[in-house]
Amino acid sequence: MGRVTTRVPRTRYDLARSAVVARPDTVAVEEPLEVRVGGEVVTTTMRTPGDDFDLTLGHLLTEGMVGAAGHVATMMHCTDVGPDGSPTFNVVEAALSPGTTLLRPARERTESMTSACGVCGSASVDAVRTASRFDVGADPVVLPAAVLAALPDALREHQSAFDRTGGVHAAGIATPDGELLVVREDVGRHNAVDKVVGALSRDRELPFAGTVLVVSARASFEIVQKASVAGIPAVVAVGAPTSLAVELAADSGITLLAFTRSPLFSVYARPDRVEAPADPGRTDR
């Protein structure tokens, strides 16, 4: 299987000390993954090798191409080889269960996907508004503010690849009491989300009601969209939200937190699910 990290040459300049030091550094591996269903390519994305079957299954689920993990019968790495003749494990072939077809085709794209964005190159904004089959807004979950604020720190404890490289994102799915059910890392924030959805779907059917998606990245449109399709009622992001993410969260009934760094966070949609501490101080600034 592919490497998560690799060593590369580095020359470090320290102007304060007038020092130049040459020594190797550890960086995250970024390689393409091509996903095929029935021999047809449905996506190619740049990802960190590892957990490729979770990524494949999660992508098919969060893109609305299959409705349940059981709709995918088998997954296998194709025997593609690199220039040196060694296996690359960069192609996954998925076979659907008998009597199952894709619920929707792969999106029309104008360019290849990168590790930066799950929906870059889609033909139109309307094309990326994948409809969720679940009424996420009706989820009655109540989320303690202290638990939500602590989730990024809890996620950080599981980011071993980030510790070595500083160059990968992480995603996790947690219970309302803060237990992380699954965590995955990847150079692509959307890939990390697909990986955790795919991993959890092996043990639990969609929708993932009463759970929280926590991400180390910003709250982008594709992150909120994937939460909606998976039936996840809350998203906690370390970084900033985008306008489309806020709009989609409000439309779909997802509680959206951003700038989450304990003890602070900001809620941009559905604050009614957040259980505030007793007698909280309040300002309108």
31-35 CB contacts, 8 Å cutoff, 24+ apart: 31/2, 31/88, 31/90, 32/90, 33/90, 33/91, 33/92, 34/90, 34/91, 34/92, 35/59, 35/60, 35/91, 35/92, 35/94
Distant-in-sequence, close-in-space partners of 187: CB < 8 Å, separation ≥ 6: 28, 30, 46, 47, 48, 115, 167, 168, 169
User: Is residue 258 within 8 Å of residue 246, measured between CB atoms?
Assistant: no
Closest CA to 257 of 248, 246, 268: 268
> Can 78 be counted among the known catalytic residues?
no
What is the rounded distance in angstroms from the CA atom of residue 1 to the CA atom of residue 49? 7
* Cα torsion angle, 84, 89, 90, 93, sign: positive
- The single residue of 27, 102, 117, 209 carrying the catalytic annotation is 117
What is the rounded distance in angstroms from the CA atom of residue 159 to the CA atom of residue 156? 5
Task: Write out the catalytic residue numbers.
Answer: 117
